[in-house]
Amino acid sequence: MSSQTVRSLVSSDGIRLHFRHWPAIGTLQGIVVCLHGLQSHSRWYEYSSKRMADSGFEVYFADRRGSGLNGKLRGHADHGLRLLNDVRHLTRFARREHSIVDASDRSRIPVTLLGLSWGGKIAAAFAATYPGEIERLALLYPGLIPKLCPSAFQNFLLRFARRHDMRHKSIALPLDDPAMFTNNRDRQNSIVNDPLALHRVSSGLINSGLDLDQLITLGQGNIQHPLLLMLAGGDRIIDNAATRRRISDFPTDRLSLVNYPDACHTLEFEPNRENIFSDMIAWLAGKV
């Protein structure tokens, strides 16, 4: 059975970024690079990471800069392309570890970019901007169209902050109720007591999200990858109907949509997660 190792890379701007690596068990089926949500970090997703690794997938689960084990500049990013460059750095590192050096070789080990919640926004923007870097795209309850959006006045303040280079203005996340993530009381308590969870972010990170939205719109014609969309029917954070409409704008003809009608936002914490991630692994293995 697979076990994780905490590793790190130095980004192109000199920041050391940590990730959890779960080596594949048995015959290598593919590589999965994972991106977490706005408040969470890679440790929240140990169950699904282990399941993928035990099924033959190399799992590289990044802690986003300023999140999780990355203690420098907590909750901050300068702009959206900075976040995409971090993903590109890790994706290329994962390929090199498995001797995949020719990006034009279509027989190479497939790389899936898996984005959860706000990480789904980063993943979609990456696929739109660097489509040749990955073979597949998986979006789990992605933060493309959230129910929780800035007001018109807050958007004005964000534009003002960017115009005057006020990147480090602290902003409280509207996610303090752990019941938004799960109905499981034990999981709710673990979220409340998690010292690595983010509760405040910078105006730079929020504006980075707006950058990502623009990159998705500009490059959505490039999102032709096989795409898995998994939604939680009881989600209080993501607008599922609007998300499905947004995904329908992507020109992929290989969309697999799975909806879990009774699930809360974080599928990792659901009581039937064994079945949920069996569905995901079946898609990764090309059986769906």
Distance from chain centroid for Cα 194: 19
For residue 151, give the CATH number of its domain. Answer: 3.40.50.1820
The answer to whether 150 touches 160, Cβ cutoff 8 Å, is: no
- Find, among 230, 236, 242, 241, the residue nearest to 267 by Cα: 230
Distance CA 47, CA 273 (A): 9
**Digit-coded pLDDT (tens) for 117-156:** 999 999 999 999 999 999 999 999 999 999 876 666 566 5
**Average pLDDT, integer, range 154-183:** 78
Go through 197-227 and write b for each residue having 16 or more CB atoms within 10 A of its CB, e for each that does not: bbeebbbbbbbbbbbbbebbeebbebbebbb
57: exposed, middle or buried (C-beta count within 10 Å: 0-12, 13-18, 19+)? buried
Strand partners, 113: 33, 137
Contact 38, 68 (CB under 8 A): no
pLDDT of residue 131: 97
pLDDT digits (tens, 9 = 90+) for 98-120: 875 444 554 578 999 999 999 99
CA separation, residue 23 to residues 216, 251, 286 (Å): 31, 33, 20
- Quick one: pLDDT at residue 254? 96
Q: What share of the chain in percent tops pLDDT 70?
A: 90
pLDDT in tens, 70-83: 999 999 999 999 99
Number of domains comprising the chain: 1
The confidence score (pLDDT) of residue 162 equals 67
CA distances from 69 to 22, 83, 118, 185, 263 (A): 16, 16, 18, 25, 28
Please report the sign of the dihedral spanned by the C-alpha atoms of residue 125, residue 129, residue 131, residue 135.
negative
Summarised one tens digit per residue, pLDDT across range 27-60 is 999 999 999 999 999 999 999 999 999 999 999 9
Tokens representing residue 283 in the block: 């898609």
Which pLDDT score, from 0 to 100, does residue 174 have? 86
What pLDDT sits at residue 108? 72
Its domain, for residue 231, covers: 5-284
Looking up tokens 């979006």 gives 139
pTM score of the predicted model: 0.94
Q: What is the mean pLDDT of residues 1-19?
A: 92
Residue 168: per-residue pLDDT? 80
Residue of higher predicted confidence among 172 and 256: 256
- pLDDT at position 150, please? 63
CA distance 115 to 120: 4
pLDDT of residue 3: 83
Q: What is the pLDDT of residue 170?
A: 87
pLDDT at site 171: 87
Residue with tokens 């991106």: 35
- Both tokens of residue 17? 């970024």
